[in-house]
Amino acid sequence: MKRVLFLFKQRPLALVGIVVILFWFFAALFGPSLLSFTYSALDTDYQMTRPGEGGHLLGTDALGRDILTRILHGSRSILTVALLTSLFSTLAGVIIGFSAGYFGGRVDAVFLRIMDILMAIPPLVLAMVILGILGDSTIVSLTIMVSIAYIPATARVARGAMLTCKNYEYVDAARIMGESNFSIMFVEILPNTIGSIIVEATARFAYSIMMVASLGFLGVGLQPPTPDWGMMVIENKSIMMNAPWAVLYPALAIASLVIAISLFSDFVSKVLIHDS
């Protein structure tokens, strides 16, 4: 604990990251209920209003919808999808990567080929293909497709961690004391690799936000009228010269969250990995 505080002092930016992340979680949970507008309400008197006018703190878009309300609503879906994605892709990645690394040989070879194929396709393209199969974008389908797109990366990290750990003699000791492969993998080895896995999961969290925003930007994210940060950027692109705030604030929201998570992820890796 003392060491964590010491590291904090050395890296004040990590604190900034954590504050920003907490801000967004707080905003997603309570923000929408604190505001008087709804995300789809069209305020015909105030179209493309400057920030601050008519009670619209961050202005409105071309249809007169309140930008702040839409950003806060959008944070709910993006955080939900990103959290679930990093959770699922890490879980699946650990199971697949651990099995491949632990058993080696043919299991590993098959795994590596499949992962190579998946990795040869850019995640964004892969996500769009899976989306095509699953149909319309909903929070569930978005989560599934982004998770699948990120499994190869997390599985590789888990496999690498397993390869280092399985050569330790405590694994041999566990074997000749009659432990099952399952218990060696998930009881003996997992705790010793948890650091790098958590770091990978936090990094995936940041990537997922980028991915969800990109999909929204490309028009294959959540469907209107549900607010989506990426979609807000693209739908207001045409009015950017007249109402820059309509593009600027959603873009800032994406950037602030991604950078904050990256800072946090760096800090976590310092605490967890360099500690041992």
Interface residue with another protein among 38, 110, 172, 240 (CB under 8 A) is: 172
Interface residue with another protein among 68, 161, 174, 231 (CB under 8 A) is: 174
Distance CA 195, CA 274 (A): 9
Residue 105 lies near another protein (rule: CB under 8 A) = no
Residue 178 lies near another protein (rule: CB under 8 A) = yes
Distance CA 114, CA 119 (A): 9
Residue in 250, 234, 228, 245 with CA at minimum distance from that of residue 59: 245
Interface residue with another protein among 29, 173, 240, 255 (CB under 8 A) is: 173
Interface residue with another protein among 9, 34, 105, 169 (CB under 8 A) is: 169
Grouping H, G, I as helix, E, B as strand and the rest as coil, residue 6 is helix
Distance CA 242, CA 245 (A): 9
Residue 139: how many CA atoms within 13 Å on its side-chain side?
Answer: 14
In order, the DSSP letters of 164-210 are: HHTTSHHHHHHHTTT--HHHIIIIIIHHHHHHHHHHHHHHHHHHHHH
The answer to whether the beta carbons of residues 230 and 217 sit under 8 Å apart is: yes
Closest approach, Cβ 211 to another protein, in A, equals 33
Distance CA 156, CA 80 (A): 25
Binding-residue total with another protein (CB under 8 A): 17
Could you tell me which stretch among 115-123, 124-132, 172-180, 207-215 binds another protein (CB under 8 A)?
172-180
Grouping H, G, I as helix, E, B as strand and the rest as coil, residue 60 is strand
How far apart, in Å, are the Cα atoms of 171 and each of 60, 87, 96, 181, 187?
A: 61, 27, 19, 10, 11
Closest approach, Cβ 170 to another protein, in A, equals 4
Considering only residues 4 through 33, tell me which ones interact with another protein, judged by CB under 8 A: 6
Could you tell me which stretch among 15-23, 59-67, 84-92, 173-181 binds another protein (CB under 8 A)?
173-181
Between 52 and 191, name the residue whose CB sits nearer to another protein: 191
Between 40 and 192, name the residue whose CB sits nearer to another protein: 192
Residue 61 lies near another protein (rule: CB under 8 A) = no
Between 3 and 237, name the residue whose CB sits nearer to another protein: 3
Residue 182 lies near another protein (rule: CB under 8 A) = no
Between 113 and 175, name the residue whose CB sits nearer to another protein: 175
Closest approach, Cβ 153 to another protein, in A, equals 25
State the residues that interact with another protein by CB under 8 A: 3, 6, 168-170, 172-179, 188, 191-192, 276
